[in-house]
Amino acid sequence: MTGILTLLLGVGNLVGHIGAAETPFAGVWKVVGTLPAQGGGQDSILGLVEIKGDEKSPKVELLTHGIEPFKNAKATGATLKDGELTFALSSGQLNISFVFVGPANKATRTGGHMDLRSNLLPAYLSKSDKKDLKDVKLETPAEGNEKLQAITKAANLDEQIQLAKAMVKDLPGRAATIRGTTLVVIAALKSGKSDQAAQMADVVVSSANDFGKAFSSRITREIAGELAKEKGSAPKAILLSEGLLKDLGPTAPAQQEAGLLGVLRMAFLKIGKTDDAAKITARLDGLESKLDLEFEKINIPFKPTPYAGRKADSNRAVVVELFTGAMCPPCVAADVSFDALIKTYTSKDVILLQYHLHIPGPDALTNATSESRQNFYEKDIEGTPTMMINGKAGPPLGGNRQGAERSYQALTKIINTSLSNAPTPVELSIEAGASGNKVGARVIYKGLKSTENLKLHTVLIENEVRYPGSNGQRLHHHIVRDFLGGVTGVALKKTEGEESFTVEIPKLRETLTGYLEKFEKENGPFPVSSKPLDLKHLKLVVFI
C-alpha cells in the first residue's frame, strides 16, 4: 500500500512519501502440501522459501527443495492481490502454482492451496527460523489423521459432529479438517438427518475459507452437490449454489457456471420446483457452445505435428482403433492422443476409429457393435484404454491430460514406421450418397493377388459427439456407430469386384436406442442423462 504523509508545519506544507509497506508474508516459510504420490497422501514439506519485497512487488526465493522433483526448481510469478500471495515452484519434472491467504499479524502459519495439473489441493505456509531443511521438522503430521480416524470410529452422528467441530477449533487450515467435516456431512445425509447435514455444511464452508477463495469455492460446490441429493437439505444446496453463482465474475469459465446450475437443477427437482428446474435447464442449454469452445482450448495441451508425408512410394493406410470410456479417468491421455492424431494425419494415411465400453461405469456411447468388436479381439481388449494398431495391441496409454503428449509421441513413432512399409497393389475406393433417411455405399476393390483370409470392413462413424462424461472429456471423435456387414468383415471371393451396403438412419437410431434402454433396464440409469443419438456428420470408412 502506498501512503502520502502530509505534515503541517507552520504556514507551509511539507509533503513526504512513504514507500509501499513490507509484505505481510516477509520471512522464511515452510511450504507444506499434500501430494498424492508423497507419503500416502499425507502432508509433506515441499520446500523452504524466503519472501521479501513489498505489497506491490513481493519476491519469493526457493532456499531448498523438500522433494526430489523440486531439486532444480525456481520460484516464479510472485504477485500479491486482494490479500492473497500467488507464486509457482517450477522444475523440469514438476510445476505447481500456490495461493496463500494473507497471514494475521505475527501469525506463524497461514493456509492456502496449490494447483497440481488443474487439481486444487490444500497447502499452507509455516514460519521457520531455519534456512536448511535438515534443521526443520513437519509439525505433528499424524495429529490430523488421528482425529480423522476418531470421527470414522465414533459411535453415533452426534459424537461425530462434536469431534468434527473440535477438529475445526484445534486444527484450522488442515486438509484433514476439511476431510473430517465433509465426512460428517455425508454421514448425516446417509442417516437421513438433513438438518444436521445442512448445519455441518456451514462448518465445512467456513473451514474452507482458510485455504483461499478458489479452494473454498470448490469445496462449497462439492458440498452443495451432496446436499442437493436429499429433499431435506436441498434448500441449503440452493442457497450455497446461488451464492456462488452471484460471486462468479464475467470472465469465469462456463464450466463453473454449468456445474453450479446442474446442482441447482437437481435441488429444485428434489423439492418439486419443476418450473424453476426448467428455467435452469434452459440456461444450461444456452451454455453448450461456450462449454464446447472451452473444452477445445484445453483438450490438447501440446501442439500436434502434422505428418510430413511418406518418403517412399508406400500407400498402405494404418488402422488405429481405440477402446475407451467416458467414465474412465485413465482414458483421458488416450483420448487426447487420439484427438491429436486426427490433427496429425490425413484419412488416407491413418484410419481412426473409437469404440466406447462400459468400463469402469455405464457409458451411453457404448453400443452392441463396440462390444462385438471388443469380443472380436478377445483377450487383447481386457480393459480401457486399449489401442489396436493394424490389428495388434499398441503401447500402454493410461494417464491424465498432462501425460497425453508422451502417449502421442509413442503412437506417432509406431504409425510413422508403419507408413513406410512396402506398397500394396490393391486399390480401394468408395462411392457413397444419402437419399432421404438412407445412406448407400458402393465399395470397389481391385489388385488383390489372393482373397485368402481377406475381409472388407465398411464402418459408419460419427465425426463428433458431445457427451460430458465423468472423466472431463466432453467431445468425442470418430465414434463407431455400425459395421456394415458385421465386425468380422465381409469375406472377399474375387480378386476384384464390388460390394454394396445400405443403412437406414432411423432404423439404426432405433437399434442404438433399444440397446441403451435394455442396458438401463438391467443395470440402472446412466450417470449422464443425455443419450447422444443425433447421428449427424456421419462418415463411411473402408479398409481390407
Q: What is the pLDDT of residue 12?
A: 40
Angle, nearest 10°, between helix axes 194-208 and 157-170?
10
Name the E strands within 66-118: 74-81, 84-90, 95-101, 109-116
- Grid coordinates of 497: 469386384
- Grid coordinates of 334: 488416450
- Grid coordinates of 310: 511418406
Distance CA 462, CA 540 (A): 9
Task: Report which secondary-structure segment, H or E, holds 465.
Answer: strand 455-466
Asked if 430 and 444 count as a contact pair (C-beta separation under 8 A), the reply is: yes
Q: What is the pLDDT of residue 8?
A: 30
- Distance (Å) of CA 389 to CA 67, 166, 184: 39, 57, 49
Asked if 124 and 110 count as a contact pair (C-beta separation under 8 A), the reply is: yes
Asked if 65 and 168 count as a contact pair (C-beta separation under 8 A), the reply is: no
- All domains of the chain in start order, with CATH: 27-141 (2.40.128), 145-299 (1.25.40.10), 318-543 (no CATH)
Nearest to 465 by CA among 319, 360, 339, 300: 339
Q: What is the pLDDT of residue 111?
A: 87
SS (H, E, C) 172-215: CCCHHHHHHHHHHHHHHHHCCCHHHHHHHHHHHHHHHHHHCHHH
Per-residue pLDDT tens listing for the chain (544 residues): 333 333 333 334 434 444 556 788 999 999 998 776 544 456 788 999 999 988 888 999 999 988 888 888 999 999 998 889 999 999 988 899 999 988 877 788 888 999 987 788 889 898 998 888 777 766 555 677 788 889 989 989 999 999 999 998 888 777 888 889 999 999 999 999 999 999 999 999 998 988 888 899 999 999 999 999 999 999 999 999 999 999 998 888 999 999 999 999 999 999 999 999 999 999 999 999 999 999 999 999 999 999 999 887 888 999 999 999 999 999 999 999 999 999 999 999 999 999 999 999 999 999 999 999 999 998 899 899 999 999 999 999 999 898 899 999 999 999 999 998 888 899 999 998 888 899 999 999 999 999 888 999 999 999 999 999 889 999 999 999 999 999 999 999 999 999 999 999 999 999 999 999 999 999 988 888 788 999 989 999 999 9
Q: What is the pLDDT of residue 277?
A: 94
Asked if 299 and 402 count as a contact pair (C-beta separation under 8 A), the reply is: no
- Grid coordinates of 254: 462456463
Asked if 323 and 386 count as a contact pair (C-beta separation under 8 A), the reply is: yes
- Distance (Å) of CA 251 to CA 44, 247, 248, 257, 300: 34, 11, 8, 11, 22
Q: What is the pLDDT of residue 240?
A: 96
Sign of CA dihedral 362, 363, 369, 371: negative
Nearest to 112 by CA among 215, 247, 218: 215
Distance CA 75, CA 96 (A): 10
- Grid coordinates of 331: 482414458
Q: What is the pLDDT of residue 319?
A: 97
Q: How many CB atoms within 10 Å of residue 241?
A: 26
Asked if 87 and 98 count as a contact pair (C-beta separation under 8 A), the reply is: yes
